[in-house]
Amino acid sequence: MRFGWQLFGFLFIFYVIVDVIYWLQGGELVGVTAMALSAGLALIIAFYFWFTERRLGGNLPEDRVDAEIADGAGEIGFFPPYSWWPLAIGFCATLTALGLAVGWWLFLIGAGALILSVMGFVLEYEKPEYQGH
């Protein structure tokens, strides 16, 4: 992951420099905004790779030239077998988007239901009956 955060860190710096030059040359507002958003996205990815590498202890198998595939083996994580929450999230997101066309009252109902659905999806396996997993 060392190469990953260095690559995206370079892309962040590149986008910022190009964005400033574009802005000073009289670039349009949409182009300046798009370049700034690209820089921000590169920064988020670089930070994620840097933080993950630091948390995992530095020298990961994918950073070594002599690493084998088996060096990266191990437990990947817990993947839930099924969940009904994505269906609820999709319905509430549709209701929220429809509320923008129909009226603010529907948007507020959809946004509230969307927040509850996302919380249900994120906290689904925090219930006491799932603590053994």
Report the alpha-carbon distance of residue 129 to residue 91 in Å, rounded.
27
Copy the structure tokens of residue 33. 């905004």
Copy the structure tokens of residue 15. 């986008």
Domain map of the chain by residue range?
A: 2-70, 85-130
Is-contact 36 19, C-beta < 8 A?
Answer: yes
Is-contact 1 52, C-beta < 8 A?
Answer: yes
Is-contact 1 63, C-beta < 8 A?
Answer: yes
pLDDT greater than 80 at residue 77: no
pLDDT greater than 80 at residue 58: no
Mean pLDDT of 9-18: 97
Is-contact 89 114, C-beta < 8 A?
Answer: yes
How far is residue 84 CA from its own chain's centroid?
A: 22
Copy the structure tokens of residue 99. 């509320």
User: What are the pLDDT digits (tens) for 117-132?
Assistant: 999 998 888 777 655 5
Residue ranges with strand state E in 1-133 = none
Q: What share of the chain is helix, strand, coil (3-state, %, to 5)?
A: 75, 0, 25
User: What are the pLDDT digits (tens) for 95-111?
Assistant: 999 999 999 999 999 99
Mean pLDDT of 8-18: 97
Identify which of 43, 33, 44 has the alpha carbon closest to the alpha carbon of residue 13.
43
pLDDT greater than 80 at residue 25: yes
